[in-house]
């Protein structure tokens, strides 16, 4: 396997020959070096995050000789990088491989990375599973930075608040990040601290449904069908010039269910109602099985039914380090003018 892997790594690097200098010139040092699902080794991803080389396998463990081949290939090209390997071929993509103490310490060490001049916190391993910065969302963060100056932004399912920090750095006048997880918002606050921001972002620990309903003016009852809802912050109704909606594939809480395959409308409609008249909604769907045109058709029907028809739209495509064989990448990002 190691002999077959090396030409694939070399070809992937050659394919990025024009992209990487551009990224470095704009102060970006985090990107995907190998996208295995398209570049010849499904399930294998190799990402650079600053001085970290993050190797992850999602289908089956990477044999030791193949991992050694990966390390030997990159050590001559990027000797300053520390390799961390995560075997995520187990249930729910959970990391399953133990590391020796010295490697584990290096993997968990907080690091700083940069994207378009914005600084973010990253670690090869932490209490969660996913990296703290999703690289395929770079194109969306880039577009948010273009749209944000002087505008208000609501960042829903904010995770570590990368979109919100990018918007604040670009000159947004008001930024609200909403996520239910204290751990994710803590990283977001650290990201804010690492940057010289002209505005202080707000971080709201809240279920996204409860936040959207309150901002949209629908309201969130404290009791639903006779049952008391979990505590949630009280938020005043307001609309935003720009709303970013990046929901997970599936999530369930007492406030609502996120199901990107069967019922995207349930999360799309309340987000849409948070957008000011003439504003912009950027939304994502990361499920590969969902066809792009069918998803867009559903968005258009939902928007029309809500009385907020889509006036204009465009696709935001992942950048060249996330190639797609058919031009329809798994991550679909739509910018909607409403």
Pairwise CA distance, residues 70 & 245, whole Å? 36
Site of tokens 């000797």: 79
Mean pLDDT of 218-233: 95
The predicted pLDDT at position 76 comes to 87
Ranges for all domains in the chain classified under CATH 3.40.50.150: 135-337
The predicted pLDDT at position 30 comes to 98
pLDDT tens, position by position, 103-124: 999 999 999 999 999 999 999 9
- When the pLDDT of each residue in the chain is averaged and rounded to a whole number, the result is 96
Mean pLDDT of 22-42: 97
Pairwise CA distance, residues 159 & 248, whole Å? 10
The predicted pLDDT at position 3 comes to 78
Pairwise CA distance, residues 70 & 250, whole Å? 33
pLDDT tens, position by position, 294-324: 999 999 999 999 999 999 999 999 999 999 9
Ranges for all domains in the chain classified under CATH 3.30.750.80: 2-122
Cβ-based neighbours of 172, under 8 Å, separated by 6 or more: 148, 149, 150, 151, 152, 153, 199, 242
Q: What share of the chain is helix, strand, coil (3-state, %, to 5)?
A: 35, 25, 40
Mean pLDDT of 194-213: 98
Mean pLDDT of 247-259: 96
With a cut of 70, say whether residue 33 has pLDDT above it: yes
Confidence of residue 228 (pLDDT cuts 50, 70, 90): very high
**pLDDT over 70 percentage in the chain:** 99
Mean pLDDT of 42-57: 98
How, if at all, do strands 240-245 and 152-156 pair? parallel
Confidence of residue 1 (pLDDT cuts 50, 70, 90): low
Nearest to 191 by CA among 133, 138, 128: 133
pLDDT tens, position by position, 83-96: 999 999 998 899 99
The predicted pLDDT at position 92 comes to 87
How far apart are the two ends of the chain, measured CA to CA in Å? 51
* 2-122 classified as CATH 3.30.70.360: no
Pairwise CA distance, residues 45 & 2, whole Å? 15
Mean pLDDT of 259-271: 97
The predicted pLDDT at position 327 comes to 87
The predicted pLDDT at position 115 comes to 98
Mean pLDDT of 229-252: 97
Q: Would residue 259 be called left, alpha or beta, if left means φ above 0 and alpha means ψ between -120 and 50 degrees?
A: beta
Helix (H, G, I), strand (E, B) or coil at 210: helix
**Helix H segments across 117-207?**
138-147, 162-170, 182-194
Q: Would residue 22 be called left, alpha or beta, if left means φ above 0 and alpha means ψ between -120 and 50 degrees?
A: alpha
Architecture per CATH, domain 135-337, reads as: 3-Layer(aba) Sandwich (3.40)
Site of tokens 């028809």: 309
Nearest to 184 by CA among 241, 114, 120: 120
**To the nearest 10°, the Cα dihedral for 226, 230, 235, 241?**
-100
Q: Give the pTM.
A: 0.96
């Amino acid at each position: 396997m190691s002999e077959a892997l090396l030409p694939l790594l070399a070809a992937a690097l050659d394919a990025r020959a024009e992209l990487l200098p551009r990224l470095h010139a704009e102060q970006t040092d985090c990107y995907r070096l190998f996208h295995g699902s398209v570049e010849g080794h499904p399930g294998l991803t190799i990402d650079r995050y600053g001085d970290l080389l993050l190797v992850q396998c999602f289908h089956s463990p990477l044999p030791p000789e193949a991992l050694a081949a990966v390390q030997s290939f990159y050590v001559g090209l990027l000797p300053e990088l520390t390799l961390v390997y995560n075997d995520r071929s187990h249930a729910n993509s959970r990391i399953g491989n133990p590391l020796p103490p010295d490697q584990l310490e290096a993997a968990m060490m907080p690091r700083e990375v940069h994207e378009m001049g914005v600084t973010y916190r990253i670690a090869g391993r932490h209490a969660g599973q996913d990296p703290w910065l999703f690289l395929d969302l770079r194109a969306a963060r880039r577009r948010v930075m273009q749209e944000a100056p002087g505008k208000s932004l609501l960042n829903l399912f904010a995770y570590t608040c990368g979109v919100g920090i990018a918007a604040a750095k670009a000159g947004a006048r008001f930024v609200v990040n909403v996520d239910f997880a204290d751990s994710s918002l803590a990283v977001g606050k650290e990201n804010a601290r690492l940057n010289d921001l002209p505005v202080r972002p707000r971080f709201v620990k809240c279920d996204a449904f409860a936040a959207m309903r309150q901002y949209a003016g629908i309201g969130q009852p404290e009791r639903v069908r006779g049952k008391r809802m979990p505590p949630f912050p009280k938020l005043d109704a307001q609309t935003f010039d720009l709303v970013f909606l990046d929901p997970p594939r599936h999530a369930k809480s007492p406030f609502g269910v996120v199901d990107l395959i069967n019922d995207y409308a349930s999360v799309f409609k309340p987000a849409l109602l948070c957008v000011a008249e003439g504003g912009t909604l950027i939304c994502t769907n990361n499920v590969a099985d969902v066809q792009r045109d069918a998803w867009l058709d559903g968005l258009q029907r939902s928007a029309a039914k809500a009385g907020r028809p889509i006036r204009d739209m465009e696709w935001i495509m992942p950048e060249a380090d996330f190639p797609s064989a058919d031009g329809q990448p798994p991550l679909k990002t739509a910018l909607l003018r409403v």
